[in-house]
Amino acid sequence: MNYTGSCHCGRIKFEVEGEIGTATSCNCSICQRKGTLMWFVPHVRLKLLTPDDAAATYVFNKHVIKHRFCPLCGMHPYGEGVDPKGNAIAAINIRCLEGIDLESIPVRHFDGRSL
């Protein structure tokens, strides 16, 4: 399935392909504050519809994950990183996808605070 998503103001727009089986809620210091529900996909499934430099980047701690956000409205629609096998991944904030019934998606809780 193809999904479209964006930040609140529309400066960042994207498409992502795949089936949302579950979303992840993380309790690390940034995810808890943002309230994101992440869906992890291979990075090649994320297609930006706006220029990459429309999004700002924030990194912290081990500087492994690029938390991408809109410098205008502040929304965090996706992040970028690598999985344990070294493959490029995208963490899509499903709250930024259009037409999603959030109540129908099972949420897995991840203890990122303890890492």
pLDDT of residue 24: 97
pLDDT of residue 10: 97
pLDDT of residue 50: 97
pLDDT of residue 48: 98
Question: Backbone phi, then psi, for 59, in 5-degree steps?
Answer: -130, 150
pLDDT of residue 100: 94
Which contiguous run of DSSP H or E holds residue 33?
helix 29-34
DSSP β-ladder status, 23-26 and 107-110: parallel
pLDDT of residue 41: 98
pLDDT of residue 62: 79
What's the CATH code of the domain at 65?
A: 2.170.150.70
CA distance 75 to 68: 9
Which amino acid would we find at residue 112?
G
Evaluate whether 107 touches 22 at the Cβ level (below 8 Å).
yes
pLDDT in tens, 18-71: 999 999 999 988 989 999 999 999 999 999 999 999 999 999 887 889 999 999
Reported confidence tier of residue 114, pLDDT bands at 50, 70, 90: confident
DSSP string for 36-77: --EEEEEGGGEEESS-GGGSEEE--TTS-SEEEE-TTT----
User: Which residue segment(s) compose the domain that 30 sits in?
Assistant: 2-114
Give how many domains the chain has, as a whole number: 1
CA distance 112 to 58: 17
pLDDT in tens, 76-113: 999 999 999 999 999 999 999 999 999 999 999 998 88
Evaluate whether 56 touches 71 at the Cβ level (below 8 Å).
yes
